[in-house]
Structure 1
Amino acid sequence: MTKQARSEHTRRLLLEAAAELLHQDGYAATSMVGISQAAGVTKGGLYFHFSSKDEICAEVQGAAVRVLHEHVRRQLVVPGPALRRLAELSRALMRWLDTDPKVGASFRMAREMGSADERFVVFSHAWLAQVRQYVADAQAGGELGTGVPPEAAELLVVVTCVGLEAVVSSRIVVPDTGLAATLAKLWQLIELADRSSRRPAARGVGD
């Protein structure tokens, strides 16, 4: 392994360790010493690559944003209805929160630290921008109902995803299945309620 390859490998180990710790323990409980120990890298090796915890957090969020952009790029290869792409993005987010510590760490940092510092909402803002784009595409394509304001559609997606992540992370609710499957069940309920609201009311005998 060349010196450059070793350096890249070490940096990757540090980022993976940081993402795992930030996802599991949160920003405040994650330390530079803990990251170096989890990665199996000396403290000097850690500071060679990253000067501070905030620099690592920024790198973790950047990696999470790349996961998001790669998903969107793949969606563009096979164009489909905007609302379908929005639903797929929501399910993908839930899968990432279950399986990708970079995304999980980014979401948790936004929840815990975003109100104090905008540096911690980089991934969340990128995800929200994509949600808004898909809703705008759906409106332009006539996919939204005539009485559905775009901002209400955006809010429904955001509140559902953010709320589900928050209640599961805080263990208020412990789903039997993963976040993606739980989100799918919620969307089924929403779709059933929507169809029921559109169904004509039953007429009485005297009507």
Structure 2
Amino acid sequence: MSLRRETMGKTVTKQARAELTRLMLLDAAAVLLHRDGYAATSMVDIAREAGVTKGGLYFHFSSKDEVCDEVQAAAVAVLHEHVARARRRRPHLRRLADLSRALMGWLAEDAKVGASFRLAREMGSNDPRFVTFVRAWLGQVRAHIAAAHGAGELSPHVRPDMAALLVVVTCVGLESAAASGTIPAGTDLASTLSELWRVIEAAQPADSAAAEATGT
């Protein structure tokens, strides 16, 4: 029995080490993909950044595209965790505002999300596998807009499809402007985005604005 427990302990430790190595590789890949882009990032670069042998990398991932898939999956998990925490907290439009500001924060602080956005920008027109995160985020934007419209939180004159497009174009534009250096480095994108929400909230019906102010 003691030998069995010792063997099981070694197996668990080996599994834990393997999972840690995998996470290190994903973190390294996210940093490189966010900073350098898809074309300039190689499997050798990822292994070197993570401090893992090339053989160790290929034990976990068979190709760079598979790494990109996993980086995006991790970014989608960040999105889903945020949505789950925010569920039922505030009116739908406020949740959308919080989500968009959270996105701006992730772009600055979470390499997985930043890498996913860059992959979509650089590679999305070539292969739909590179827009996994962006599609998930866009779907959540549309869901919030539709719910806000259905709940009367938007003026009846505001078209849900156009409202969603405005949010998406603004967020994507800010990300692109920051990545290209069009706006000064270190610009607080979340605060910048707040200006958009002041405009949108000004277009809300008076009764909806009052309800949002009271959190009802």
Would you say 1:127 and 2:137 are equivalent positions?
yes
Would the aligned equivalents of 2:30 and 2:115 in 1 still touch at CA under 8 Å? yes
Q: Does 1:108 align with 2:118?
A: yes
Partner of 1:147 in structure 2? 157
Query: Which of 25, 30, 36 is the matching residue for 1:14?
Result: 25
- Runs of 4+ residues over 6 Å off in structure 1: none
1:30 aligns with 2:38: no
> Which of residues 65, 73, 76 is equivalent to 2:84?
73
Shift of 1:88: 0.4
Could you tell me how far 1:17 is from its partner in structure 2?
0.1
Structure 2 portions without partners, runs of 5+: 1-11, 205-216
Select between 166-175 and 17-26 the one with higher mean Cα deviation: 166-175
Distance 1:194 1:139 in 2: 12
List alignment gaps of at least 5 residues for structure 1. Answer: 196-207
- Give the secondary structure class of the aligned counterpart of 1:145: coil
Q: TM-score, normalised by structure 1?
A: 0.89
Question: Is the Cα–Cα contact under 8 Å of residues 71 and 116 in structure 2 kept in the other structure?
Answer: yes
Q: CA deviation at 1:41?
A: 0.1
Counting only pairs closer than 5 Å after superposition, residues 58-97 of structure 1 correspond to structure 2 as 58-76=69-87, 78-97=88-107
Separation in structure 2 between the aligned mates of residue 191 and residue 137 of structure 1, nearest angstrom: 15
Equivalents in 1 of 2:196, 2:182: separation in Å? Answer: 17
CA distance in 2, matches of 1:138, 1:191: 12
**Residue 182 of structure 1, CA deviation:** 2.0
List per-residue Cα deviations over 1:41-98 (Å, max 9, x = no partner).
Answer: 000000000000000000000000000000000011x432110000000000000000
* Pair 126,140 (structure 1): closer, same or farther in 2 beyond 3 Å: same
Give the drift of 1:175.
5.4
* Secondary structure at the counterpart of residue 2 of structure 1: helix
Counterpart residue identity of residue 80, structure 2: H
Partner of 2:169: 159
Q: Which amino acid aligns with 1:84?
A: R
What's the counterpart of residue 202 of structure 1? Answer: none
**Residue number in structure 2 paired with 1:41:** 52
Residue 181 of structure 1, CA deviation: 1.8
1:177 shift after superposition: 3.3
Counterpart of 1:138, as a letter, is: A
The answer to whether residue 202 in structure 2 is matched with residue 183 in structure 1 is no
- d(CA) in 1 for partners of 2:201 and 2:16? 53
The count of residues paired between Structure 1 and Structure 2 equals 193
In 1, the alpha carbon distance for the partners of 2:184 and 2:197 equals 18
1:124-162, Cα deviation, whole Å (9 max, x unpaired): 000000000001101110111111111110011001100
- RMSD over aligned Cα atoms: 1.7
Deviations 1:105-125 (A, max 9, x none): 000000000011000000000
Amino acid of the structure 2 residue aligned with 1:38: E
